[in-house]
Amino acid sequence: MHPTFSLQQLRGGPFDPLAWFNIVGEIGCAFWILAYIFIIRQCFKDKSYGLPMVAICMNLAWEFLASWVIPNPVPLWHFFDRVWFFVDLVIVYQLLRYGRELQTIPEIQQNYHAVIAGTVMLSLSGLYAFYVQYHDMLGLMGAFMVNLVMSVTFVFFYFSRRHQGGRGLSVPAAWCKMLGTLGTSIECHFVIGQTQDWLGGLNFLTFLCLSIFVFDCLYIYMVTKAARATSQEPELAPRQSALAVA
């Protein structure tokens, strides 16, 4: 057992999966799985990938660490980590299968697989170093940092994809991502607040969660507005209807 866990912490309390805030977080985890499913479905349909490249690489790195490296005292939470990891492998496959042709920077397109591998390795190294250096129990702070990167880059991802008819973007996935993160944000304010007093407060976590929520809402607004505009133009080609809400 990792030294950041104590026997007292392992007995219920913030790690009780039936505590109300953990139930909220577990519902959030389920929304994240739904977000992945909507993304995967849309991207197989559009022959694309549905998250920004950097976000995919950082997400894969965090999920690998959470699933196989960082200890977790709650089997249910560990189950969610591993479900995310294996589902995320499908998203990585879509990135590798369809991503090269969608790159607009020639140097990235020419060195596509090396760029992906390098980004994943840098993400693994950085997230693990943060986990060890700052005693980031369960890697939760690292998870929200990755989440903020994802939320910010989603906005730019939308602008790059709107010229392709919204290829790979999904309105239901955007909603599920926001709701999933909202649930885990509430949960982690209680879990981290009760277990990581060495942080000296939750100001940074609150900043991360509020920033993620703002960018998620902005992204939902943009993709929903684009979806409605697309639905009112039936003459568009099938690929240009990728943002359809259905």
Across 116-120, average pLDDT: 98
- Calpha distance 236→71 (Å, rounded): 50
Across 47-53, average pLDDT: 95
Encoded tokens for 120:
């994943």
Does residue 126 register a pLDDT over 50? Answer: yes
Does residue 225 register a pLDDT over 60? Answer: yes
Q: Check residue 84 and give its pLDDT.
A: 95
Q: Check residue 31 and give its pLDDT.
A: 98
Q: Check residue 157 and give its pLDDT.
A: 94
Q: Regarding predicted confidence, which is higher, 42 or 3?
A: 42
Does residue 202 register a pLDDT over 70? Answer: yes
What's the start-to-end Cα distance of the chain, in Å? 46
* Confidence bin at 4 (pLDDT 50/70/90): low
pTM: 0.88
Across 214-232, average pLDDT: 91
Across 219-227, average pLDDT: 93
Does residue 3 register a pLDDT over 60? Answer: no
- Calpha distance 45→24 (Å, rounded): 32
Does residue 8 register a pLDDT over 80? Answer: no
Cα–chain center distance at 206: 17
Q: Are 147 and 181 in contact (CB under 8 A)?
A: yes
Question: Of the candidates 171, 58, 197, which has an alpha carbon nearest to the alpha carbon of residue 118?
Answer: 58
Q: Regarding predicted confidence, which is higher, 144 or 240?
A: 144
